[in-house]
Amino acid sequence: LLGMADTAPFGWLGNKETLLQQVTETISGTMRRDQSLAEGDLADLISYLNSLKLPDVPIQEDLHQRGEDLFRRLDCGKCHKPGSWTSEEAIDVGFTDELGVDHFNPPSLRGATWRRTFLHDGRADSLERVFNFHQHQIDHLLKDEEIAALAEFLKQPDRAAARRYETA
């Protein structure tokens, strides 16, 4: 949830315009089934989520640049647009869930390097598996050094790289 407060729309379907809508539905529908938080508690929770910022971590500039270049070459920005690092629309990601849904809102890539699972259902436990087992939106296997470069880029995608990407 780090740095996610301004990455609307929310939810796997991209159908929640505000963090308040997403949190309310998650609490009442997913977590607590037909229950809700008191208004003050809900406001406190939203305030807390808005306070979660990505840490400013050191990066290896050369590796970060190679990751940014690869991100661009693979056209990752068509679904994970710089700024929020997501998209406003739901996209066919080549997977259909148990309910027949085949279009999902891409998660923001902010904080991706700190995640333990990836993809909308957590079926990948590493970036390497995202690309080389599930072949997420690419047509070839990535080398270890390419995955390392992408991981380095994803540590701080909002750095000056975002500005360079948007103007390229």
Give the pLDDT of the chain (168 residues) as one tens digit per residue: 778 888 888 888 888 999 999 888 888 877 766 677 788 888 999 999 999 888 788 889 999 999 999 999 999 999 899 888 888 888 887 778 888 888 988 888 887 877 889 887 788 898 888 888 888 888 888 999 999 999 889 888 877 555 565 555
Q: Report how far residue 59's alpha carbon sits from residue 44's, in angstroms, rounded to the nearest whole number.
A: 33
Q: Assign residue 143 a region: left if phi > 0, alpha if psi is -120 to 50, beta otherwise?
A: beta
Interacting residues of 3 by C-beta distance below 8 A, sequence separation 6+: 52, 53, 54, 108, 110, 111
Q: Return d(Cα 153, Cα 67) in angstroms, integer.
A: 5
**pLDDT, position 164:** 61
H or E segment to which residue 104 belongs: strand 103-104
pLDDT score at 63: 94
How far is the CA of 40 from the CAs of 29, 37, 45, 47, 115, in angstroms?
19, 8, 9, 10, 30
Q: Are 59 and 152 in contact (CB under 8 A)?
A: yes
Cα(158)–Cα(168) distance, rounded to whole angstroms?
15
What pLDDT is attached to residue 154? Answer: 86
3-state secondary structure of 21: helix
Are 15 and 123 a contacting pair, CB within 8 Å? Answer: no
Predicted local confidence at residue 168, as pLDDT: 55
